Amino acid sequence: MRPSRLPRHAMDASFWRDERVRAVAAQVLAFAAVVAVFAWLVTNTAANLDRLNIRLTLGFFDERAGFNILQTPIPYDNNSTYLRAFLVGLVNTLIVGVIGVILATILGFLVGIGRLSSNWLLARLATIYVETFRNIPLLLQLVFWAEAVLTLLPRAQQAIELPFGATLSVRGLYLPAPVAESALLWVGVAFLAGIAAAYLLGRWARGRQARTGQRFPAASVGLALIFGLPILTFLVLGRPLAWEPPVLQRFNFTGGIPIIPELAALVLGLVIYTAAFIAEVVRGGILAVPRGQIEAARAVGLSSGTTMRRVIIPQALRAIIPPLTNQYLNLIKNSSLAVAIGYPDLVGVFKNTVLNQTGRAIEVVAITMAVYLFISLAGSVFMNRFNARVAIRER
């Protein structure tokens, strides 16, 4: 049918029925709506700030903070600037993030593999662990550790004595601090030399096996080199490392490495909670390896250990890494709950105290969100790269 034979109203309507016209119109409308909402918010904000006589500025960063922080991994006192306080909070967040990620990975892998164990009791215990801690809010677990458990510890005067001079009390866990003598440098050198020797040994062993088919226990000898060389050096040099135990003052300890109870509660809660999720990720990843792979590996005569290392784990990792990344990022984001139990992380330092002191809500909240957003995006970019490297390359 020719267009000219169409009734007149159909011709008119056809303009709006054109997909391209509609696509452009929809996008223009959506964009206009977003711009309008944004403009409305900005005008409101500007009017409110005007009325309250506030100007957006980061000038307060250079002012004296004037408050103390519970845990200062970098030099800080109450004469430092707000910028310094911000950095202290950031470092505190990263400390929790790093410790938490390492411990949660170890515990999560153990529990996840435990759930698949042929040992009935172990599998049940792992299941109970996962189902218990996954279904209780993290915040509840944090306040439980901080307010119900760690407060039951004895006072500093009756601190529990642990081996090597460490003490555990309501003031926290105090570890002896290592005091290194200059000769300790050689132990580090020996460690690096051990790694290099193990690497060369591995290359030589692989080459020999490829040529002659003879195997060499490169893994165990390599491990012995990496750890044996530094230990040997350490003993030969007459143990150039002293331990300085914490000393009890009137109410608290000085010296040593303090782990404040807030940090302990935060790490404990985060690790136990996140490990439950990591365990499920690991279990899912291992179950995702087709049974045929395992059967084929056994059929070509690989031992069960080699099957695990060379067949199951490399394939399981492909399924594990993306969700594992999410769990790591969740752990770091969740560490912001520190604010509820008084650990001075980024949110605790910056938002609670700085916001209360300066009243600069917009700047403070925006900076805090930007930091987390940056960590999240950087984390996912890094893991995507890593994932691309281990992904299956199909022909």
Partner 1 sequence: MAPRNFVRTEIIPAQPPPAGTLGPLAWLRAHLFSTPANAAITILAVLFLAWTIPPLIRWAFVDAVWTGENREACVGAGACWAFVRAKFDLFMYGQYPPAQHWRVNVVGLLFVAGLVPMAIPAIPGKRWTVLYLLVVFPVAAFILLRGGMFGLTDVPTTRWGGLLVTLVVAVTGIVIAFPLGVLLALARRSRLPLIRVLATGLIEIWRGVPLVTVLFMASVMLPIFLPSGVTIDKLLRAIIGIGVFYSAYMAEVIRGGLQSIPRGQYEGAMALGLSGLQRTWLVVLPQALTISIPGIVNTIIALFKDTSLVLIIALYDLLGMIQSATNDSNWAVAQVPASGYAFAAVIYWALCFSMSRYSLFIERRRAAGRPR
Q: What's the min distance (Å) between Cβ of 282 and partner 1?
A: 17
Q: What's the min distance (Å) between Cβ of 177 and partner 1?
A: 32
Give me 373's structure tokens: 């957003």
The DSSP letter of residue 334 is H
On the 0-12 / 13-18 / 19+ scale of CB atoms within 10 A, 88 is buried
Q: 233 or 334: whose CB is closer to partner 1?
A: 334
Q: 35 or 74: whose CB is closer to partner 1?
A: 35
- The identity of residue 153, as a single letter, is L
Q: What's the min distance (Å) between Cβ of 371 and partner 1?
A: 9
Q: 41 or 189: whose CB is closer to partner 1?
A: 41
Q: 190 or 266: whose CB is closer to partner 1?
A: 266
Biggest alpha carbon distance in the chain?
Answer: 104
Q: What's the min distance (Å) between Cβ of 372 and partner 1?
A: 5
Q: 138 or 175: whose CB is closer to partner 1?
A: 138
Q: Return the number of other C-beta atoms located less than 10 Å from residue 197's C-beta.
A: 15
Reading across the β-sheet that carries 167-169, which strands appear in turn? Answer: 160-161, 167-169, 172-175, 257-259
Is the CB of residue 307 less than 8 Å from the CB of residue 295? Answer: no
Is the CB of residue 76 less than 8 Å from the CB of residue 84? Answer: yes
Q: What's the min distance (Å) between Cβ of 203 and partner 1?
A: 33
For residue 242, the cross-strand partners are 179
The DSSP letter of residue 168 is E
Q: What's the min distance (Å) between Cβ of 278 and partner 1?
A: 16
- The identity of residue 11, as a single letter, is M
Is the CB of residue 263 less than 8 Å from the CB of residue 343? Answer: yes
Collapse the DSSP code of 81 into the 3-class scheme (helix H, G, I; strand E, B; otherwise coil) and give the result: strand
Which residues contact partner 1 by CB under 8 A?
23, 26-27, 30-31, 34, 41, 44-45, 47-49, 51, 117-122, 125, 131-132, 134-141, 143-144, 147-149, 151-152, 333-334, 336-337, 339-340, 347, 351, 355, 361-362, 365, 368-369, 372-373, 376-377
What is the spatial distance between Cα 211 and Cα 196, in angstroms, rounded to a whole number?
23
Give me 68's structure tokens: 């103390």
Q: What's the min distance (Å) between Cβ of 253 and partner 1?
A: 22
Q: 91 or 201: whose CB is closer to partner 1?
A: 91
What is the spatial distance between Cα 40 and Cα 90, in angstroms, rounded to a whole number?
33
Collapse the DSSP code of 241 into the 3-class scheme (helix H, G, I; strand E, B; otherwise coil) and give the result: strand
The DSSP letter of residue 336 is G
Q: 30 or 74: whose CB is closer to partner 1?
A: 30
Q: 121 or 388: whose CB is closer to partner 1?
A: 121
